[in-house]
């Protein structure tokens, strides 16, 4: 498959078969192995512009691997992934995993922002420098505009007074909000979130989810891996349940959370609910 010679800020593409906007992200029958371990076993998924897709499933089911493939951090053994129609993952002509070329990687990193569970920020840079670095050096934004944009983002995150602070001077929740601001500063088309609240103290989770909720309301295309089921229920247009490298169930949040059909979904949701009760000191479990 050829790669595009140039990019223009064209109006949204329309799928000629359906007349609706073409998916921003397509995943077609993707397989991924680490050594002999089959981690993804034939995933197929479209994400439309403006859609919020929440991915849930037990640990080890392949959720992180999926997000890493979407951001060119992993290759695939079979299948294809496109972002805005640009092929970003596919095996090479010899059928073996192949790293995309540098130009593709750069394009994907411009279009897709990713926030991880932890270790997001550059520790030796201030909050403001963390946010302006990529826009100024990769997007070639002039530094003054970069700082203005960063300040505006920090305002949205409620962190404007932390611009000169270093990451270690911030709480985990503040660090994650800066990480989100940093990704947004690149003006991506889509954002990927991998359990961004899992490493946080419980009292800091809410402030990060609030920012993500706002982003969803603003129409950002998002793929979110999370164990925060109440949040998932509120923001998801679609919930995807993964288990052992497969998508076992897909649906709107009402269906998935109220009437899941796959026994493994039922089991998973039950387990998460029980863990939540334990974390809550058992208070919810009492009548």
Q: Is 265 near ligand ADP (CB under 6 A)?
A: no
- Are 111 and 83 a contacting pair, CB within 8 Å? yes
Q: Compose the 62-81 pattern: x for residues touching Mg ion by CB under 5 A, - for all others.
A: -xx-----------------
Name the phi and psi angles at 66, rounded to 5: -60, -50
Q: What's the closest the beta carbon of residue 91 comes to ligand ADP, in angstroms?
A: 17
- Are 192 and 223 a contacting pair, CB within 8 Å? yes
- Are 83 and 265 a contacting pair, CB within 8 Å? no
Among 24, 25, 27, 39, binds ligand ADP (CB under 6 A): 39
Q: Are strands 25-34 and 78-83 parallel, antiparallel or unpaired?
A: antiparallel
Q: What's the closest the beta carbon of residue 61 comes to Mg ion, in angstroms?
A: 8
Q: What's the closest the beta carbon of residue 77 comes to ligand ADP, in angstroms?
A: 13
Q: Is 97 near ligand ADP (CB under 6 A)?
A: no
Nearest-angstrom CA–CA distance, 265 and 232: 15
- Beta carbon nearer to Mg ion, 50 or 58: 58
62 binds, among ligand ADP, Mg ion, none (CB under 5 to 8 A by kind): ligand ADP
Q: Is 60 near ligand ADP (CB under 6 A)?
A: yes
- Annotate 205-254 with DSSP letters as a single string: HHHHHHHHHHHHHTT-EEEEE-S-HHHHHHH-SEEEEEETTEEEEEE-HH
Half-sphere exposure of 171 (CA within 13 A, CB side): 13
Among 26, 61, 226, 265, binds ligand ADP (CB under 6 A): 61
How many residues touch ligand ADP (CB under 6 A)?
A: 11
Q: Which residues bind Mg ion (CB under 5 A)?
A: 63-64
Q: Which residues bind ligand ADP (CB under 6 A)?
A: 34, 37, 39, 57, 59-65
């Amino acid at each position: 498959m050829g790669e595009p010679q140039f990019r223009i800020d064209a109006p949204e593409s329309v799928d000629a078969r359906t007349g609706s906007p073409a998916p921003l992200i397509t995943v077609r029958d993707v397989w991924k192995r680490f050594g002999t371990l089959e981690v993804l076993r034939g995933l197929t998924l479209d994400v439309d512009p403006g859609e919020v897709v929440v991915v849930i499933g037990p640990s080890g089911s392949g959720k992180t691997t999926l997000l890493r493939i979407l951001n060119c951090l992993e290759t695939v053994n079979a299948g294809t992934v496109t972002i805005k129609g640009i092929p970003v993952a596919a095996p090479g002509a010899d059928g073996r995993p192949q790293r995309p070329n540098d130009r593709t990687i750069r394009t994907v990193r411009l279009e897709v922002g990713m926030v991880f569970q932890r270790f997001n920020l550059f520790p030796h840079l201030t909050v403001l420098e963390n946010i302006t670095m990529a826009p100024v050096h990769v997007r070639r934004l002039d530094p003054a505009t970069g700082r203005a944009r960063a300040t505006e983002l920090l305002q949205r995150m409620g962190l404007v007074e932390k611009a000169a602070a270093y990451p270690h001077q911030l709480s985990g929740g503040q660090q994650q909000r800066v990480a989100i601001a940093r990704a947004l500063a690149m003006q991506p088309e889509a954002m990927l979130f991998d359990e961004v609240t899992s490493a946080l103290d419980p009292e800091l989770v809410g402030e990060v989810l609030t920012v993500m909720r706002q982003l969803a309301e603003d129409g950002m295309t998002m793929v979110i891996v999370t164990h925060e089921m109440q949040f998932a229920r509120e923001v998801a247009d679609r919930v995807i349940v993964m288990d052992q490298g497969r998508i076992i169930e897909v649906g709107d949040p009402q269906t998935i959370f109220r009437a899941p059909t796959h026994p493994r979904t039922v089991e998973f949701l039950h387990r998460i609910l029980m863990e939540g009760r334990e974390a809550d000191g058992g208070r919810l479990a009492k009548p």
